[in-house]
Chains A and B, each alone.
Chain A
Amino acid sequence: MKPANGKEIAWNGIRFVVPAAWEPGRIGPRHLVIQSEAGPAMEIKWGPVKGRFSRRTHLRRLSKLTRARGAALREWVPPKDWQQALSRFESAGFAWEAGGEAAVGTILHCPTCRTASLIQFFQPPGRTGAAGQAAAVLASLQDHRDDGRVAWAVYDILALLPIGFALVRYRFEAGRFFLEFRARRRTIGLLRWAPAAVLLRDRDLSRFAETMAGLDGLEFQASAVGGEPAVEGRERAEGCARRLASSLGLRPIRTARIWHVPSRNRILGIVVEGRFGIDPAVMETVRGGYGLAGENRPPGAHQPR
């Protein structure tokens, strides 16, 4: 069961589908607040569990926390549709009220990946609020994949990266999104700009990459990505000292691919940085998994599930 006309949200291992009008309002490394037109609709926090998971202990801890903040948290038996949706998890329902605010939620534990999640849906007292959509959202919830990759899908971007890449930095600003991941000594940056028509009005893609994308120092060559205009950036081969430093791993080497998606008025980019050279296959793997939601993806690329 998925919400009609739903939208996939995937972040740091967690994936779920929300109604199309809901959007991430606050994003943390393992924390999301999803907003509807009326305000906050849903909040989710998650993390790995070390040792034995105890629902009672978690509920007690949560109760203490909310009591200190002037709210009364109580155990709550979720309705049947919630229980059906959460049959693959160990779960414990809760509800709290404080002044004009109230929420119902559940603490979940996945026995397969040993991830604990805390999800709550906000509902003003006397009204259903976001809780009316909860069962459908919970039915779509997944906290692990079986293919050794991690999905990322927020706003209009989708990415599927190998599991070893950890999120280091991210920024979602109007017109510019940036996510950076690191595994060992390799860094992957995913970028997205909009509206492309305005950004490319008085400069070509190479010039844009050098200036707006902050990739000065790279040498760009025109290419195409899936039939769309693109530029490939490589380190300039200049100076013996710099080349020697790069070959000794003293100076990081970058490669970049920036491409324009005219049909969506977006510019997408991937920057891979590492020491001792970068395997071209890394760029292809990342490119295969990165794109826009609703985009016609090349064969073999990540398709949202």
Chain B
Amino acid sequence: MGWPGKTGRRVLISRDDALGCTPVKNRHVRESHLESGEVVVYYPVAVHPWMARVVQFLGKEAASPRDGKLQLDALGTAVWDMIDGRRSLRRIVTAFAAAHQLEAREAEIAVVQFVRELGRRGLVGLH
């Protein structure tokens, strides 16, 4: 908000509604825990369409999807472990803030940015 007509981006979903969403892990994602307790997430990466066309043009077999790998740090692991398909983003933010004695707003920004990044990679979806 601010002064009338000064709003820059169009808001598609309110902050309140966004925090009410529940993140769900992609069922094609595999995860393993390191000795340090941190999580490594393996996820399928689709071959880029133009690359697939190049491969096809060269007469090779269609490229099979490969695995992407993402190693999460301690904070990322904490959030990842809280994504159980039942807890809303708001509940995850609250639990994360309490666990690390963070300000509510700071925890919200950290968790939302992290979940957005996971979503961009196709590791989680929101419902």
Instruction: Answer whether A265 and B100 are a contact pair too, CB < 8 Å, given A37-B16, A174-B113, A198-B74.
Output: yes
Contact indicator B3/A33 (Cβ below 8 Å) = no
A173 and B106 CA atoms in complex are apart in Å by 8
Q: B residues engaging A (CB < 8 A)?
A: 1-6, 14-16, 73-75, 100-107, 109-110, 113
Residues of chain A contacted by B73 (CB below 8 angstroms) = 198
Indicate which residue in B1, B3, B101 contacts A69 across the interface (CB closer than 8 Å).
B3
A101 is an interface residue with CB less than 8 A from chain B: yes
Near B by CB (< 8 A), chain A positions 149-177 give 155-156, 173-175
Indicate which residue in B4, B14, B109, B113 contacts A66 across the interface (CB closer than 8 Å).
B4
A70 and B7 CA atoms in complex are apart in Å by 13
A195 and B15 CA atoms in complex are apart in Å by 24
Contact indicator B100/A198 (Cβ below 8 Å) = yes
Contact indicator B3/A175 (Cβ below 8 Å) = no
Residues of chain B contacted by A173 (CB below 8 angstroms) = 109
Contact indicator B5/A174 (Cβ below 8 Å) = no
Near B by CB (< 8 A), chain A positions 192-216 give 194-195, 197-198, 201
B6's nearest neighbour on chain A, judged by CB, is A69
Indicate which residue in B16, B74, B106 contacts A38 across the interface (CB closer than 8 Å).
B16
Contact indicator B4/A96 (Cβ below 8 Å) = yes
Most buried by A among B2, B16, B74, B75: B2
A122 and B100 CA atoms in complex are apart in Å by 32
A40 is an interface residue with CB less than 8 A from chain B: yes
A72's nearest neighbour on chain B, judged by CB, is B4
Instruction: Answer whether A70 and B106 are a contact pair too, CB < 8 Å, given A194-B100, A197-B100, A198-B74.
Output: no
Instruction: Answer whether A156 and B103 are a contact pair too, CB < 8 Å, given A122-B1, A201-B74.
Output: yes
A267 and B3 CA atoms in complex are apart in Å by 37
A31 and B6 CA atoms in complex are apart in Å by 15
Residues of chain B contacted by A96 (CB below 8 angstroms) = 4
Residues of chain A contacted by B101 (CB below 8 angstroms) = 194-195, 264-266
Task: For the complex formed, measure the closest distance between the CB of B15 and the CB atoms of chain A, giving whole angstroms.
Answer: 7
